[in-house]
Structure 1
Amino acid sequence: MGSAARLKVDGGIPNQLAKAADAARNLEQRGYDGGWTAETSHDPFLPLLLAAEHTSRIELGTNIAVAFARNPMIVANLGWDLQAYSEGRFILGLGTQIQPHIEKRFSMPWSHPARRMREFVAALHAIWSAWRDGGKLQFEGEFYTHKIMTPMFTPEPQPYPPPKIFLAAVGEAMTELCGEVADGHLGHPMVSKRFLTEVTLPVLARGLERSGRDRSEFEVSAEVMVATGENDEELAKAMTAARKQIAFYGSTPAYRKVLEVHGWGDLQPELHRLSKQGEWDTMGSLLDDEMLRTFAVVGPVEEIGAALRERCAGVVDRVLPIFFAASQKCISAALKEFHQ
């Protein structure tokens, strides 16, 4: 179960450099606990440098940076520098992406993703340890080798510990690995509270037990889709947008296992077929209210804060709400109770 600590609420930071500083500053001023960038059309690390420069309190992380598009030494340098510049507020969130993107978009090797990620994290710790303690770097693995580190290439010491590492995981192997080697778990929006409770948390617990750690030493982070509005028209618009997004996620074979927990696995092939035809509106119409409310928090703005808290209670330690078709005024009203 989730820890007894206060639920942290996070927000997104645009990965466009021109927008990152203002967005991060606004998150901090509005009482958020953390800000995350994503690796989509822009690099996820560079905006966090600007975010660190214009904030002093909130945690800053990547959700996610694609690990296998890089090597551990490159990521170790980025993590070390952002941790130093942010004065210990950086979280390194990593994910695998999928094989076609790694091989055909990034032109990098793909194999045994769980084993490769385990080694990637171990290599990061070995590099940071050598920089921190001055020991010899001697890392030899199945996928990565790091054995040269001279004074010229060793960064200056810093007073902060190495960055926390969060891993994105849905499948059992990666989720158990996350509990064993990472400091936190990054969840996907296409995950229900039931899936988290019945599947994710027990698997994370196995990994934590293997590492000899307590649940209180680990953070579970969730992205939760939210459909709300200040009137019936706004709420209906948000619900329609949320249905389409859930249908899009559900069309991906990787998330059939999430649908199957609720007995909806047979819907996935149909959503996938329609996605190939670009029938996005039709896909959304296949989701009834029960499915919508299973994967999204839905309700008028005056009720949504309590509903979001209920969705997270006892399950996650931090939440990143994803609002559909909502104004900033609406979002602020919805999250008011979290920032008391």
Structure 2
Amino acid sequence: MTGGMPLHAAQQLARHAADTGHAGLVITEAGRTAYLSCAAAALAADVDLLTGIAVAFPRSPMVTAQIAWELADATDGRFRLGLGTQVRAHIERRYNAPFDPPGPRIRDYIGAVRACFDAFRGASPLDYHSDHYELTLLPPVWSPGPIGPPDPPIDLAAVSPWMLRLAGQVADGVHVHPLNTRTYLADTVLPQLAAGAQRAGRHLEDFEIIVPAFLVVGDTPDERDRWRELARTQIAFYGSTPNYSFIFDDLGHPGTTDALRERQKAGDIAAMSAVITDDILRHFVTEGTWATIADAIGDRYAGIATRVVNYFGAIAWTEDPQHLARWKPIAEALSHIP
């Protein structure tokens, strides 16, 4: 996983990822766009490229569809379009775009993007109508036209049971939030995805479950401590979001989000991290030495995740470009786990 980055750096990271046995990159969107980093990486290496996620609502579905279409073409079908709603404050106050109602809106958005794909391929005229989007004009000169690869798969970011059911109903895969535990994955993610798929008369055999993992790996305590404390800080940051409080409740730690928000409002980052005790932390991290981490990842995610994403991978690579090479035998071992 990486955020958007300077484009030459994205190309270098893609080459290193390919050389070290990684299947691909998941590129998030924050200060830089995910799409431009995907384009740079696509021109540098033959790897899977996933936006994880690109923010949907500030862009017209047509704009998103055109970008995804070109990236699918450039990667020969190795691009997956990951979309998410973001949160209200960012959509309304940073992007100045409509947010409500986020669930029904993202459902219509995915339908609109797929209608654009059909129109680009010439399968049907552009004639999409929903509660939130209407697209009815695509003169030939404005269409990118057919491409060789299939339509880009569309994955949806989902946390709540409602959004997980929607992903199972209308998407090709789900981006699970980094704030995930084995309990949450087994008791919430899988059943809700299956319920959504059943509602649509679908099956999940080819459905992608993309799971970011806080991997705490190192052969010395100091090496592991660095990643463990970074994970603790990230969990505190994510856990301060009210919508995610149920994840802590399910672990038997009610009130965790309230405690995090209280310290966040006081601007006390250290106190926020302290809320995430070792007992809480162990549910969110996968820990091991370089010799044992592959088994630890397999034990936690086999039978649940179709793609495990190294949350700290790009951070470590930025500090040491040779770091990814240590993951090559691990990536090869994990590729054989069903």
Q: Same fold (TM over 0.5)?
A: yes
- CA 1:134 to 1:318, structure 2 compared with 1: closer, same or farther past 3 Å? closer
CA contact (8 A) 1:229 1:301 kept: yes
Among candidates 129, 133, 144, match of residue 140 of structure 1: 129
Residues 20-63 of structure 1: per-residue CA shift (max 9 Å, x gap): 1111111111111121211111111011111111112x211111
1:306 lines up with 2:299 in the alignment: no
Among candidates 30, 53, 71, match of residue 60 of structure 2: 71
1:251 lines up with 2:240 in the alignment: yes
Alignment partner, residue 336 of structure 2: none
1:339 lines up with 2:332 in the alignment: yes
TM-score (norm 1): 0.92
Residues 242-261 of structure 1: per-residue CA shift (max 9 Å, x gap): 22221222222121011111
Aligned residues: 329
AA at the equivalent of 1:333: R
- CA 1:335 to 1:195, structure 2 compared with 1: closer, same or farther past 3 Å? farther
Shift of 1:285: 2.3
Higher relative contact order (CA 8 A, sep 6+): 1
Alignment partner, residue 82 of structure 2: 93
Alignment partner, residue 265 of structure 1: 254
Alignment partner, residue 5 of structure 1: none
CA contact (8 A) 1:37 1:48 kept: yes
Paired residues for 1:44-123 under 5 Å = 44-56=34-46, 58-123=47-112
Among candidates 223, 230, 233, match of residue 241 of structure 1: 230
**How many angstroms apart in 2 are the aligned matches of 1:196 and 1:27?**
27
Among candidates 15, 21, 24, match of residue 25 of structure 1: 15
More deviation, 186-195/223-232 = 223-232
Question: Alpha carbon RMSD of aligned pairs, Å?
Answer: 1.8
Identical aligned residues as a percent: 33
CA contact (8 A) 1:17 1:47 kept: yes
Paired residues for 1:142-221 under 5 Å = 142-221=131-210
Alignment partner, residue 41 of structure 1: 31
**How many angstroms apart in 2 are the aligned matches of 1:12 and 1:193?**
23
Shift of 1:138: 1.0
Residues 306-337 of structure 1: per-residue CA shift (max 9 Å, x gap): 11121111111101022388566665435623
Q: For structure 2, which runs of at least 5 residues remain unmatched after alignment?
A: 334-338
1:316 lines up with 2:309 in the alignment: no
Shift of 1:282: 2.1
**How many angstroms apart in 2 are the aligned matches of 1:229 and 1:41?**
30
Shift of 1:16: 2.3
**How many angstroms apart in 2 are the aligned matches of 1:21 and 1:331?**
15
Residues 220-244 of structure 1: per-residue CA shift (max 9 Å, x gap): 0100111222212122222222222
AA at the equivalent of 1:62: T
**How many angstroms apart in 2 are the aligned matches of 1:42 and 1:313?**
33
TM-score (norm 2): 0.92
Q: For structure 1, which runs of at least 5 residues remain unmatched after alignment?
A: 1-10
Shift of 1:195: 0.5
**How many angstroms apart in 1 are the aligned matches of 2:297 and 2:216?**
11
